[in-house]
Amino acid sequence: MSESNNIIFVYFIGTLGMVLLALSVFFFFVTYQKKMLKKQLELNETKAKQQEEILLNTISAQEKERKRIAQDLHDEVGAMLSVVKLNVGRIEKKSEESVAKELAAETKTYLDEVITQVRRISRSLLPPSLEKLGLFFALEELARWVNKAEQLKIVCRKSGEQFRFDNKKELAVFRIIQELLNNAIKHSEATIIFISTRFTPDYNLMISISDNGKGFNLEEKMNSGLGLKNLDSRIQIVGAKFKMKSKHGKGTTAIIYLDTKV
């Protein structure tokens, strides 16, 4: 082999070696990136599951605490207030002084208001009609309690035959609607809120909550409002689809869709 051929051969071998080395480095880099990406995805999935589990445990703990407080309010505080009212009534009957009678009567009126508020709070924390009669009846009861304050009016409408579904999901949907109503009552300056509930024969549920309030910038609220983020988390846990639209001066509408068979 001539010297020029040797040079060409060495050059060819060197070039081939460099190409192979470059390919090896490239494939190593691609493989490494894939492994890193897979590990990152696994880590993100683990974090998401942990966050979901933490949120589920938090919500479960909240519901247990709400149940305990509701029972204490009903069984203990409510009973004690009723006894106090009876005693005030006895004082009113036995008192001979007009001033004392008037004071006793006024105290009974205040006690009636306090007892009513205790019952309202107790039912809000743990609505008995939800477990006994179902979601729509619980919403009607909630609306009646709000309407008693005469600050605004809530109108409940239903289409289709009500069906029952998983107790935890039913309670979760009620809490979501309750939170939406609380937000509307506190911030919307609305005079009327419509709750429309549609039950379909194939066990799908759609609920819309709309008000005639002042509306808001939805994007700003989602970025800054912890309440809306918590609401979104609850909706994801239930497995529902959720849509909200709002515009300044045009009110707000929220729609919840849930396949109860899932």
Tokens at 36, concatenated: 């890193």
Q: Dmax of the chain from CA atoms?
A: 137
Per-domain residue ranges for the chain? Answer: 1-126, 127-262
User: Of 65 and 135, which is predicted with more confidence?
Assistant: 135
- Model confidence at 237, pLDDT cuts 50, 70, 90, reads confident
How far, in Å, are 56, 70, 73, 174 from residue 130 at the CA level? 21, 14, 18, 8
Q: Quote the mean pLDDT of the chain.
A: 79
Cα 173–chain centre separation = 7
Please state the φ and ψ torsions of residue 215, each to the nearest 5 degrees.
75, 175
How far, in Å, are 181, 212, 222, 252 from residue 208 at the CA level? 11, 13, 19, 10
Residue 9 scores a pLDDT above 70: no
- Among residues 139, 258, 121, the alpha carbon closest in space to that of 200 is found at 258
Contact indicator for 146, 190 with CB cutoff of 8 Å? no
Cβ atoms < 10 Å from Cβ of 51? 11
- List, for residues 145-182, the tens digit of each pLDDT value: 888 878 889 999 999 999 999 888 888 899 899 889 98
User: Of 25 and 107, which is predicted with more confidence?
Assistant: 107
- List, for residues 62-118, the tens digit of each pLDDT value: 767 677 776 666 666 767 777 777 777 877 777 777 777 788 788 878 778 777 777
The class that CATH gives domain 127-262 is alpha beta
DSSP 3-state assignment of 256?
strand
Cα 243–chain centre separation = 13
Percent of the chain, pLDDT > 90? 24
